[in-house]
Amino acid sequence: MNQTSDEKSQLLIDMRDIVKHFPGVMANDGANLTLRRGEVHAVLGENGAGKSTLMNILSGLYRPDSGEIYVGGERKEFGSARDALLAGIGMVHQHFCLVDIFSAAENITLGMTEPRLHLNMEDIEDDITELGRKFNLGIDPHAKIWQLSVGEQQRVEILKLLFRDAQVLILDEPTSVLTPQESDELSETLRRMADSGRGIIYISHRLAEVCAIADRVTIIRGGRDIATLELNEIDEERVANLMLGSDVSPLSHVDRTKTPGDTILEIKNLDVTNDRGLPAIRKANITVKAGQIVGLAGVAGNGQKELADVISGIREADAGEIRIADKDITGKGIREIINEGVSLIPEDRTNTGLVSVLKVKDNAILRSYWYERFSRGFLIKGEEVEQHTERLVKDFNVVTPDINEEVWKLSGGNQQKLLLAREMTSDPTVIVASHPTSGLDVQAAMDVHNMLLEQRDKGAAILVISEDLEELLTLSDQVIVIYDGYVTQPIPGDKADRSDLGLLMMGSGVKELVS
């Protein structure tokens, strides 16, 4: 696309042919992005598509392997986030960078050079209030960060950038932590900022919002931009298709003819609050039968973690019931639930599911060392454990020099295989697998899938929680979607359509399908 030199300097940002790779993965493969003055530009893409990397490069956090960045027509190179800030580009990350016990004003003025010695907080606070009024970012500058709601904290982050006269603001999944009202207010704010001549880049998964607010949309897939749509070209279905690729998934070699058995895992009207005090799960109903895999699709942060925690006993529910084979286990202790045959494959592999500093054989009995099989009196039967571990490693193809190797030295894939091996060897009745293949290479992921399918064939009731639609569609007999704590009715695996599911994952049409 040729641009006249006029057009070029009109562009606030022009990223060309950005290439970035990390060990083992090509994150950006010739990506391009432009940002006009006064526009709100949304960047969409699945996880791992490369959009976060691209934005981190723009905001100075990463340095590209090759490619160019032009800011207002001028070529720039950023050695750090600070350099980018000086050039007027700032980013609000998903995880805020705020000092909790400082006030909003203190956070905003942190790192600035004036006033040099004495801090007249009142003056600074007045300036901030003024700025806030201008952009519909009202906050009490005197309040401490920990006292503010997440939405207010986000405003502080934005004000931090505006205070430094940032012309380009990048927001990473800003509405994932906001209530609907706060999201509306944010949209208003973004509009005002854009109208003032600034440029906004908005990374998101939430289709409906994006389509409502963006002037242009760029879709990233496979490390590069595959389409940029103008305002009049934006419609939900088209965007969803572009994001996910238009082929409907070829469904798998999974034998769908077996009829599932009795209901094993039953969740009724579950209400769970998350660590921030906000509702994470709202009146969820989920049923998983023996010999069945139910896939829970959803973007991370919509309540999956809380759900897995509650089923395995790590967290308490506020209301509702959980039953295993018709036995009420709501509120029971972790050991008891383990003894009922519930296996949890946690999201945090290295620090929760495994103890990385301990050996492979130590980890192999993390959730079973008190069984008669492995202990006699107060001693652990060393030989039994070793035999068990050897068998585990062999049967599940865990690559390790020997069973005495410390787990942190194993590759991610083998760590996960070890974890799964451990959890599945006990032939559990229920398996909750949370993001079982995140960060794994293709071969390792396939191994994991086969393990899950094997357990399914043995009659386990399996709930797989994942963001990867491909994975869920391959494995699941039924798919349910979670969005903002709401869980939909099951959709049979062979009837599930990628773009339909994609829409649901982004909130479109969820409420109608809540079970």
Partner 1 sequence: MKIKIEKRLDVPFILTILLPLIAVLIAFALSGILIKTAGADPIAAYKTMWSGAFGSTYSFSETVVASIPLILAGLGVGIAAHAKLWNIGGEGQIMMGAFAASGLALFYPDLPRPVLLGGMMILGFLAGGLWAVIASLPRIYLGINEIITTMMFNFIAGFWVSYIVQGPWRDPILVAFPFTAQFDKAAWLPRYFGTRIHLGLGMALVAAVVITILIYKSKWGYELRVIGGSLKAANYSGINVKKSLLLAMLLSGGMAGLAGMAEVSGILHRLQEGIAAGAGFSAFILVALAGGNPFGIIVTGLLLGALLTGGTSAQTMGVPPQIADILQGLILFFALASSFFTRYRVWIDRSKDKSAIVDSGD
Partner 2 sequence: MDIHMFSALLHTMVTAGTPIVYAALGELITERVGILNLGVEGVMLIGSVAGFAAASQFSNHWIGLGAAIIAGAITGFFYAVLCVGFKVDQVVAGIALTTFGIGFSAFVGKPWLGLPLAVPFEDIRLPILADIPIIGEPFFDQDALVYISYILVPILWYFIYKTRPGLHLRSVGENPRAADTLGINVTRMRYGYTMIGCAIAAIGGAYLTMAFVPTWFEEITVGRGWIAVSLVIFSGWNPLIVIAGAYLFGGLDAATLYIQAAGTNIPSHFLAMGPYILTILVLVLAARKRKGGLGPAALAIPYDSEGQ
Contacted entry of partner 1, partner 2, none for residue 144, CB cut-off 5 to 8 Å set by kind: partner 2
HSE-CB of 410 using CA atoms within 13 angstroms: 33
Residues in region 137-196 near partner 2 by CB under 8 A: 144, 146
The interface with partner 1 within residues 375-434 (CB under 8 A) comprises 375, 378-380, 382, 409
Verify binding: residue 458, partner 2, rule CB under 8 A.
no
Find the binder of partner 1 among 8, 63, 258, 327 (CB under 8 A). Answer: 63
For β-strands 375-376 and 379-380, DSSP reports them as antiparallel
User: Residue 99's binding partner, choosing from partner 1, partner 2, none, with beta-carbon cut-off 5 to 8 A by kind?
Assistant: partner 2
> Pick from partner 1, partner 2, none: which does 277 bind, CB < 5 to 8 A by kind?
none
Residue 161 sits at φ, ψ, to 5 deg, of: -75, -40
| Cα(346)–Cα(15) distance, integer angstroms | 38
DSSP for 126-189, please give it. HHHHHHHHHTT----TTSBGGGS-HHHHHHHHHHHHHHTT-SEEEEESGGGGS-HHHHHHHHHH
The residue range among 97-105, 377-385, 389-397, 468-476 that interacts with partner 2, by the rule CB under 8 A, is 97-105
Residues 110-149 that bind partner 1 (CB under 8 A): none
Q: Token pair of 169, please?
A: 């603001």
Structure tokens at 487: 């869980």
Tokens of 258: 């077996």
Q: Which amino acid is at 314?
A: I
Binding mask 105-144 for partner 2 (x = CB under 8 A): -xx-xxx---xxxxx------------------------x
Residue 102 interacting partner from partner 2, partner 1, none (CB closer than 5 to 8 Å by kind): partner 2
Count of residues near partner 2 by CB under 8 A:
21
- Which residue in 431, 363, 461, 444 sits closest to 396, CA to CA? 444
Of residues 21 and 93, the one with the C-beta less far from partner 1: 21
Between 109 and 416, name the residue whose CB sits nearer to partner 2. Answer: 109
Amino acid present at 212: A
Task: Retrieve residue 61's tokens.
Answer: 């956090």
Q: Min. distance of Cβ 114 from partner 2 in angstroms?
A: 9
Query: Which residues are CB-contacts of 109 (< 8 A; sequence separation ≥ 6)?
Result: 119, 124, 163
> In whole angstroms, how close is the CB of 111 to partner 2 at the nearest point?
3
Q: Are 167 and 11 in contact (CB under 8 A)?
A: no
Q: How far is the CB of 117 from partner 2 (least distance, A)?
A: 5
Helix axes 150-163, 121-134, angle to 10 degrees: 100
What's the min distance (Å) between Cβ of 98 and partner 1? 22
Question: 319-378: which residues touch partner 1 (CB under 8 A)?
Answer: 333-335, 338, 344, 346, 348, 351-358, 362, 365-367, 369-370, 375, 378
Q: Could you give the count of Cα atoms lying within 13 Å of 269 in the half-sphere of its Cβ? A: 3
Partners of 225 in beta bridges: 220
259, interface contact from partner 2, partner 1, none, CB < 5-8 Å by kind: none
Q: Which does 82 bind (CB under 5 to 8 A by kind): partner 1, partner 2, none?
A: partner 2
Which partner, partner 2, partner 1, none, binds residue 81 by CB below 5 to 8 Å per kind? partner 2
Least Å distance between CB 431 and partner 1? Answer: 15
**Cα gap 280→305, rounded to integer Å:** 9
The amino acid that residue 305 corresponds to is: K
Provide the 3-class DSSP secondary structure of residue 399: coil
Please state, in angstroms and rounded to a whole number, the distance separating the CA atoms of residues 323 and 285.
11
Partners of 68 in the beta sheet?
Answer: 16
Q: State how far the Cα of 40 lies from the Cα of 510, in Å rounded to an integer.
A: 26
Question: Whose Cβ is closer to partner 2: residue 121's or residue 131's?
Answer: 121
Binding residues for partner 1, total number by CB under 8 A:
41
Instruction: Please report how close the Cβ of residue 81 comes to partner 2 at its closest, in angstroms.
Output: 5
- Interacting residues toward partner 1 by CB under 8 A: 21-23, 61-66, 77, 79, 312-314, 333-335, 338, 344, 346, 348, 351-358, 362, 365-367, 369-370, 375, 378-380, 382, 409
- Interacting residues toward partner 2 by CB under 8 A: 81-82, 85, 97-102, 106-107, 109-111, 115-119, 144, 146
